[in-house]
Amino acid sequence: MAWRKTIRSLHRDIGYLAVGLTITYAISGIAVDHIDEWNPNRSVSWTELELGPIPGETSEAKVAEVLLRLDLEPGELRSHLMQGPTHLKVFMKQGDEIKVDPLTGKGSMKVVRDRPIIRQANALHLNDLKGAWTWIADIFALSLIFLALSGAVMLKGGHGFGGRGKWLIGAGALVPIVALMVSNY
Q: Which of 14, 8, 15 is nearest to 153 (CA)?
A: 8
pLDDT above 70 for 136: yes
Q: Find the Cα–Cα–Cα–Cα dihedral 22, 127, 76, 104, rounded to 10°.
A: -70
Query: Could you report the per-residue pLDDT of 64-112, keeping only the tens digit for each?
Result: 999 999 999 999 999 999 999 999 999 999 999 999 999 999 999 999 9
Mean pLDDT value of segment 54-73: 95
CB 52 within 8 A of CB 68: no
The pLDDT of residue 184: 85
Mean pLDDT value of segment 110-128: 95
Q: Report domain extents, the chain.
A: 2-38+117-154, 42-114
Helix (H, G, I), strand (E, B) or coil at 172: helix
Note the pTM of the prediction, 2 decimals. 0.74
